[in-house]
Structure 1
Amino acid sequence: MNRLVVVSNRVAQPREARAGGLASAMQAALEQCGGLWFGWSGRIVDEADATPRMERAGRIDYALVDLTRSDHDEYYLGFANRTLWPLLHFRPSLLDYHRGDFAGYQRVNAAFARQLAPLLRDDDVVWIHDYHLIPLGAELRALGVGARIGFFLHVPVPPPALLAVLPHHEQLFPKLAAYDLVGLQTWRDRDALLAYFRERDASTGADGNVELPDGRRFEIAAFPIGIDAVKVAEQARKAAGSPATARLVRSLEGRKLVIGVDRLDYSKGLPQRFEAFGRFLARHAAWRARVSFLQIAPPSREQVQEYRDLRSRLERLAGATNGRYAEPDWVPIRYVNRSFTQGTLAGFYRVADIGLVTPLRDGMNLVAKEYVASQPPEDPGVLVLSSFAGAADELAEAIIINPLDPEDIVESLEHALSMPLAERRERWAAMFERVSRNDIAAWRQAFLERLAG
């Protein structure tokens, strides 16, 4: 088997605990066939080395690069997270574009290419991940790299007219043509990117093949990412008797539990979720003191003003609802700004009667799949899922809602809390079968087989 080379913005280094499903999937693939993982070390230094720092663990070589403060601010905080992230999540009003940030983004991608190219062989299979590294394939080709190179975008793709909102978009998105295969989360994302290239005079086929006017050919295809469903289900079973889960259950005192778990981000629809839960309590007084909503939202990108503003808004919303409806022995909204291990979360999911997943836009949303995998088959909870999450395509048995309609969320909560056991079991069984079959290993294998040709 050809050597696999994984490239991502951050590397899950040896001895570093990374709970994410992507990190586990890449680790498993590299352990299986041996390979190289290249990316940012997470360190910010005064002066970055010209060559990556090499480490080895098992069959995996790690090539770690540091960033200077200006590189981090322009490439990562600036263009990647203040410009591309809002654009790709359909929020152009939040787009903050600066030419200096775009220059920094291009500079870092070019530097990554110079550091990675000498480590590559022509028979390697190179798999590059996410919006931070869109131009990297083109930079590698310019240095003469002839290996098969694939790219996977984990976030959504808006329609061509919205992609074109980005200043100088024609200097960025067409560079995707340097890859042999571009993978996306859903067919909608695939169709949006194909349409972008058609508007630039490319010929596109129904199978996702693209031919540019200069003769360059590549492929765009959908590969919905999954989870390790067996592992999550086992974690949930073990965590059901853990001290953390037991404390949570005791604190509920027999009440129903609604759970939301999201990184603190404006794409997740958290203000709408908080407002809808308050409206649910106002509309359905009989449920007051009988149901609690636990929202776990670890902070992220706190250097970005929009994220600080979001945190303040959520604190105000939770405080207002709790002030209006709380009893001496009951708080409606439990709002927690900290991380938990994947095993602990699986235990929380297992005892939650409702999983509330309502992003305004999401590439996939693996929390929805983890919630399903964590449920006890004999008494499963109900998933309430935004139609704007990629997972909605696969989890049609969830209660699908539009998060922009607060009444839709209110009605879905009432529906879920009163759903008969037989219906809950039927819906869960269909979703669990699909989540188990289309797991993270199947996703990884499908992409790499297509890339290898």
Structure 2
Amino acid sequence: MSRLIIVSNRVSVPDHKGAAAAGGLAVALQAALAERGGIWMGWSGKSSGEAEPEPLEMTQDGNITYALTDLTQTDVEEYYQGFANRVLWPICHYRLDLAEYARKEMTGYFRVNRFFAHRLAPLIEPDDIIWVHDYHLIPLAAELRQMGLKNRIGFFLHIPWPPADVVRAMPVHEEIMRGLSSYDLLGFQTDHDLENFAGCLKREGMGIEKSPGHFSAHGHDFRGGAYSIGIETAAFAAFARKAASHSMVHKARKSIEGRDLILGVDRLDYSKGITQRIDAFERFITNNPAHQRSVTYLQITPKSRSEVPEYEAMQHAVAEQAGRVNGAIGTVDWVPIRYINRSISRPILAGLYRLAKVGLVTPLRDGMNLVAKEYVAAQDPDDPGVLVLSQFAGAARKLHGALLVNPYDVDGTANALARAVNMPLQERQERWRGMMDYLLEHDVLHWCETFLADLTAK
């Protein structure tokens, strides 16, 4: 069996005891690497200042080799903070108004991808399979091809891919499309993302779709498919059952004093629709005064990319909005919104998922959103909560038991909250059962195995 080489911006290295990383993606990728043997390469997260980074730091764990590289401070500013997160991220999330293009940052993005390629190439054997992850590394295959490598190379995009008119607003969109066309298999989260990519090729006259999922562009034939990423469903469900007895979860249950818990969990990002969600909660209470003092909305939002100015400004805006709503509708004995601006440990989070009557997941745009899937997996089958889910999250394509909302429609989301809080037990169970059955079958290992099977197919 061919070795597997995984390349990502960051690497999930096991701790000194060899324990698996907490996230389901890391678990699946480490399982695939352990089965085949191989390498996981990426940025260490550290900067070497302006000095040339040291050689790859190699760590062995079983038959997996972890290969980490530092970057210079200029690399971090231009490749990561700059082009990846201030151009590609907003454009892929349909936020042209937030994209800040600078030619030096574009140059840095391609330079770091070339640097990754030159560090990776000496490790590659002729029959290795290479799997590249996410928007930070789109040009990597083109760089490896330029060096003469003929290996099978796949790419999976974890975030959305927008339609042609949005992509064309990016000054270097042709180079980005050429980079994607250098892979043998492109994986997207949903069929809509795949359709958008095909539309970009056709609109720009860069290539053709010879048959469904089979493309030809820039002199290269390749495939594309929708591979909706899952979670480690059964393991997370068991984890949540155990977490329900965690002391901090008991304290949270006691503190809400018998009220229904509405839970939102998001990284602080403008794509998550947090301010619109707070507006919808306020509208829900205003329109349904009987629920005043009968619900508590807990929003957990760890800080994210605080070095990027837009994110720091958003942190202040969300905190101020939560304070305004608490001041407007709160009472002496009831604080409607609890806003936590830091990370919560996974055991406590799983227990809170299980405790929550409503999971409120309303991004303005999201590739998949695994919080929605974790919320479903964490529920008590006898008394499950209700998932209120944005129609613009990739998860909405498959989680048909959720109450789908348009996050821009404040009244519509408020009405969905009222419906969720008042939903009868039988309907909650039926909705949950269908989603849980889907998640058990389409877990993260299924996603991983399906993608690799297609990548290695002749």
TM-score band (shorter)? over 0.9
Identity %: 49
Per the alignment, residue 156 of structure 1 pairs with 160
Q: 2:399 aligns with which of 372, 395, 398?
A: 395
Structure 1 residues 314, 93: CA separation in 2 closer, same or farther (over 3 Å shift)?
same
Are 1:237 and 2:237 an aligned pair? Answer: no
Find the counterpart in structure 2 of residue 32 from structure 1. 35
| Count of matched residue positions in the alignment of Structure 1 and Structure 2 | 452
Letter in 2 for 1:155: I
Moved over 4 A (4+): none
Deviation, 1:355, is 0.2
After TM superposition, give the deviation of residue 278 of structure 1 in Å. 1.1
Residue number in structure 1 paired with 2:7: 7
TM-score normalised to the size of structure 1?
0.98
Alignment partner for residue 448 of structure 2, among 428, 444, 450?
Answer: 444
Displacement of 1:18: 4.4
Residue 452 of structure 1 deviates from its aligned partner by: 0.3
SS at match of 2:392: coil
Q: Deviations over 1:79-113 (max 9, x none)?
A: 00011000000000000100000000010000000
Give the direction of change, closer, same or farther, for the CA distance of 1:28–1:343 in structure 2 (3 Å limit).
Answer: farther
Paired residues of 1:50 and 1:115 also in contact (CA < 8 A): no
Q: Deviations over 1:165-222 (max 9, x none)?
A: 001211222211111000000000001101111222412034211112x542011111
2:294 to 286, 290, 293: 290
Quick one: distance in 2 between partners of 1:205 and 1:250?
A: 60
- Quick check: 2:246–2:347 contact (8 Å CA) kept in 1? no
Cα distance in 2 for partners of 1:137, 1:268 equals: 30
Tell me how far apart the structure 1 counterparts of residues 181 and 324 of structure 2 sit (CA, whole Å): 50
Give, as a single letter, the amino acid of the residue that structure 2 aligns with 1:421: L
**Paired residues for 1:116-135 under 5 Å:** 116-135=120-139
Per the normalisation by structure 2, the TM-score is: 0.97
* Aligned residue number for residue 367 of structure 1: 371
Query: Secondary structure of the equivalent of 1:178?
Result: coil
Asked if 2 retains the 8 angstrom alpha-carbon contact of 1:19 and 1:341, the reply is no
Query: Residue by residue, what CA displacement relative to the aligned partner does 1:270-302 show, whole Å, maximum 9, x if unpaired?
Result: 000011111111111111110000000000000
Instruction: Give the AA of the match of 1:284.
Output: N
Q: Post-superposition shift, 1:40? A: 0.3
Matched, 1:19 2:22: yes
What's the counterpart of residue 193 of structure 1?
197
Contact 1:44 1:66 in 2 (8 A): yes
Is 1:72 aligned to 2:59, yes or no?
no
Q: What's the CA shift for 1:332?
A: 0.4
Q: Which amino acid aligns with 1:401?
A: V
The whole-number CA distance in structure 1 between the counterparts of 2:221 and 2:360 is 42
Q: CA deviation at 1:50?
A: 5.8
Counterpart of 2:431? 427
- Do the aligned partners of 2:129 and 2:152 also contact (CA within 8 Å) in 1? yes
- Aligned pairs for 1:322-337 (under 5 A) are 322-337=326-341
Counterpart Cα distance in 1 of 2:47 and 2:24? 25
Please say if residues 263 and 359 of structure 2, whose CA atoms lie closer than 8 Å, have aligned partners that are also in contact: yes
One of 190, 195, 202 as aligned partner of 2:207:
202
Task: Check conservation: 1:292, 1:334, Cα contact below 8 A.
Answer: yes
Gaps of 5+ in 1: none
Select the residue among 82, 85, 107 that pairs with 2:86: 82
Q: In 2 relative to 1, CA 412–333 (structure 1 residues): closer, same or farther, beyond 3 Å?
A: same
